[in-house]
Amino acid sequence: MKKTGIAIVILLSAMFMYSCSSKRNNDFGNNNSEQASANQKMEKVLQALENEDADELTSLFSENVIAEDDSFNEKLDLLFEYYNGSLVSYNDWGAPAVYNSVNAEGYNRRVTSYDMTYDVETTEEKYRFAIYYVVLDTADVKNVGIQSLYIIKAQDDTNLQFAYRGDGKNTPGINIDVKNDIPEE
Residues 66, 76: contact at Cβ < 8 Å? no
pLDDT of residue 1: 53
Does residue 3 surpass a pLDDT of 80?
Answer: no
Question: Which stretch of DSSP H or E encloses residue 117?
Answer: strand 110-122
Phi, psi of 78 (to 5 degrees): -65, -40
Q: Give the C-alpha separation, 183 to 136, whole Å.
A: 30
Paired with 29 in beta bridges are: none
C-beta neighbour count of 97 within 10 angstroms: 16
* DSSP letter string, 6-75: HHHHHHHHHHHHHHHHHHHHHHH--HHHHHHHHHHHHHHHHHHHHTT-HHHHHHHB-HHHHHH-TTHHHH
The pTM of this model reads 0.80
Over residues 104-160, the pLDDT tens digits come to 666 788 999 999 999 999 999 999 999 999 999 999 999 999 999 999 999 999 889
**Mean pLDDT estimate for the chain:** 85
Does residue 177 surpass a pLDDT of 70?
Answer: yes
131 in helix, strand or coil?
strand
- Higher confidence at residue 15 or residue 173? 173
Amino acid identity, position 45: V
Over residues 69-81, the pLDDT tens digits come to 999 999 999 999 9
Over residues 44-58, the pLDDT tens digits come to 999 999 999 999 999
Confidence of residue 102 (pLDDT cuts 50, 70, 90): confident
Confidence of residue 2 (pLDDT cuts 50, 70, 90): low
CATH 3.40.50.2300 is the classification of domain 32-176:
no
